[in-house]
Chains A and B, each alone.
Chain A
Amino acid sequence: MKERVRVAGGQGFWGDLLTAPVDQVRKGPIDYLMLDYLAEVTMSILQKQRSRDPNAGYARDFVSLMKEILPDCVEKDIKVLSNAGGVNVSGCAEAIRETARDQGLAGKVKIGVVTGDDILGRLEEFAETGVDIKNMETGEPLSAIRDKVQSANVYLGAIGLVEALSKGAQIIVGGRLTDTGLTLAPLMHEFGWTFDDWNRLSAGTIAGHIIECGAQSSGGNCQYEWDKIPDMANVGFPIVEASPDGEFVITKHEGTGGRVNVQSVKEQLLYEMGDPKAYITPDVVADFSSIRLAPDGENRVKVFGITGNPNTEFYKVSIAYSAGWKAVGTLVYAWPDAYEKAKAADIILRERLERLGLKFELILTEFVGINATHGHLAGEPPKDIPETQLRFGVRGQSKADVERFTKELAPLILTGPPAVTGFAGGRPKVEEIMAYFPALIPKDLIETKVEIIEA
């Protein structure tokens, strides 16, 4: 058994810094690279992409990345775990396989494919057999939105990944795998942690939580002394150095920018936190109140004392459904009386929309630079602010009404208050709204599938 295992975070979301995983592989020693590509609505976006192109539906950036780093990973025996498969895990795996073959790595790479998360095609079966699926926040039954559902995916945990690793997979792709499971799985595999070793599973889960958002724990988006964080252009992404007993250190490669300290780790720990004593994952219920942090040298934070509790009998399900249409447009008003001009434009626009008889569920106005972040808590702005941006959005079930709205913003330039700019982008774009419907489903209805293919 290894005394220390290094798991590096490479992507915090689909669209994160493309050079980060390359740096993680090349700028220092790591054993595993975890890449989180999926946000809650990403699955529905991928589902729509695949409906237009059967070959789409996964994070193509992952394939591009593998083209660049696969030879390094093979040479250094670095294993990669990712949820880049989205709604087309097989397609993603096939693309990786072809990439490996193109690079002369046929026979040298095993690819683990973890599926079973996609239950879109099983919703009817569940409805017919009386499986009660309802919104875990509002109690609304799934039947209320069934005909609008675009995607439905169970959050799978670490178990499937552990099995793939145990079969020698070097690159593992899955669909809706939890962010934390991508880090926990290598630790379970390397240290032989069992599925009911709750404290260690909790430690591995919290380690995953700390690095799942990329540089957010190593200086990015960090409030604490943000202006003193060095060399952010060359920010290093976080790395977990874990020990068999469940203790671990958060660090980053030497020679990279950013900063890892107790404050940066604490800020990340608070991210997406509900009940700190019960952070529920498919693998374990982690107790964040048990976490202890201590400095462990430059850019090193030791994390220890973690406990956890048995997991639940349910998987969380992420369901996305089509909930109408929206469009958002902006105009910028300049001094003098910038705020007053923007407010006048808002009133004029609302009146014109009403005269047109357009129906919207919501019309939302924000004044960027004044109250877009803090709303009414921001209070009244100074009289002489140099400018403000009017951000005007509508939401409704009628696409035609939303489209009609997009033609009403530009006329304000010549038929509204003076000193306006910031309209070069043209008419706002109409977008479909994907709403989130979180639910629970009994674990015994779901089967995780792991398949090992060879390049």
Chain B
Amino acid sequence: MWHANLIRLAFFVGIKNAANNSSRPDYFDNSILREVKCMKSQALFALVAFFATVLFSYGSASAQVVEKTKEVTSKTTKAVVDSTKKAASVTKDATTAAASKTKDVVTDSADKTTDVAKDTAGAGKSKSQSFGKNTVTVTENIAGQAYEGGKYLTVTTWDGTKWVSKQVWQPNKKQ
């Protein structure tokens, strides 16, 4: 549509120039000028319509770009969020599992420590003894917590491009 208006504008400019030309020939009478005036108002309308069309088209295109961008952004965001969620979820799962186990141990330990503490003062502390050249250090209590060691947990995370699993040493907490 705006192409047609552009053609009209070009035609109008050409006629107007011809009408204003002082060196116009005699056969160029007023009827022609009236016609030109009429065309002038039509052309003005066409010009406004053209700009309106251009503006509308631009606005429409912009809106489409925005929509597209929004869509892409949305998808990207969604993907990122999904990945992040997944990663977070896996990490959370692993962490939760670890935390759960740790919590389990800690809770039990706390309970047991209380019990043991009632029975034997100083429970959980290490005590060294020598038997000749043999040295033995004894650590008591402890609901699975005071002995050295721990567990390897497999933690899987999303590094942005792929899932990565690694073994993480989860030491048993000590009193």
Contact = CB atoms under 8 A, between A and B. Distances in A.
A453 B133 contact: no
A451 B136 contact: no
A90 B148 contact: yes
A115 B148 contact: yes
A9 B150 CA distance: 30
A113 B149 CA distance: 11
B137 A447 contact: yes
| Most chain A beta-carbon contacts within 10 A, residue among B136, B139, B145, B151 | B136
Interface in B139-155: 139-152
A454 B140 CA distance: 9
Contacts of A221: none
Contacts of B131: 159, 195
Given A160-B136, A455-B144, 15 more contacts: A91-B151, A93-B149, A94-B149, A159-B134, A164-B138, A195-B131, A195-B132, A442-B133, A444-B133, A448-B134, A448-B136, A449-B139, A450-B139, A451-B142, A454-B143
Interface residues of A, number: 35
A163 B112 contact: no
B145 A453 contact: yes
Contacts of B22: none
A454 B136 contact: no
A452 B140 contact: yes
A245 interface: no
A313 interface: yes
A450 to B, nearest CB: 4
Contact of B149 (A91, A310, A313, A444): A91
B161 interface: no
Contacts of B142: 451-454
Contacts of A94: 144, 149, 151
A199 B135 CA distance: 21
What are the 9 A-B residue pairs with the smallest beta carbon separation, nearest first? A90-B149, A451-B147, A443-B133, A195-B131, A54-B152, A450-B138, A448-B136, A453-B144, A451-B139
Interface of A: 54-55, 89-91, 93-94, 97, 113, 115, 157, 159-160, 163-164, 167, 195-196, 282, 310-311, 313, 442-444, 446-455
16 contacts: A55-B151, A90-B149, A163-B129, A163-B138, A195-B131, A310-B132, A313-B133, A443-B134, A443-B135, A447-B137, A451-B138, A451-B146, A451-B147, A452-B139, A453-B145, A454-B142
B20 interface: no
Contacts of A54: 152, 167, 169
Nearest to B129: A163
Contacts of B141: 452-454
Nearest to A164: B138
A453 B146 contact: yes
Nearest to B150: A90
B141 to A, nearest CB: 7
A145 to B, nearest CB: 27
Contact of B135 (A90, A310, A447, A452): A447
Given A163-B129, A454-B141, A449 B148 contact: yes
Contact count band on B: 20 to 34
B134 A157 contact: yes
A266 to B, nearest CB: 31
A451 B169 CA distance: 20
B149 A446 contact: no
B10 to A, nearest CB: 81
Contacts of B169: 54
Given A94-B144, A97-B144, A449-B139, A195 B134 contact: yes
Nearest to A97: B144
Contacts of A157: 134
The interface centre, meaning the residue of B129, B142, B147 with most chain A CB atoms within 10 A of its CB, is: B147
Given A159-B131, A163-B129, A450 B136 contact: yes
A384 B130 CA distance: 67
Contacts of B146: 451-453
A451 B139 CA distance: 5
B147 A448 contact: no
Contacts of A453: 141-147
A34 to B, nearest CB: 19
Nearest to A454: B143
Contacts of A444: 133, 135
A91 B172 CA distance: 11
Contacts of A452: 138-142, 146-147
Contact of B136 (A91, A113, A163, A196): A163
Given A54-B152, A452-B141, A159 B136 contact: yes
Interface in B149-168: 149-152, 167
A404 B150 CA distance: 43
Query: Chain B CB within 10 Å — which of A113, A167, A451 has the most?
Result: A451
A159 B140 CA distance: 16
A282 B134 contact: yes
B133 A448 contact: no
Contacts of B172: 90
Nearest to B112: A454
A448 B147 CA distance: 13
Nearest to B109: A454
B148 A451 contact: yes
Contacts of B140: 167, 451-452
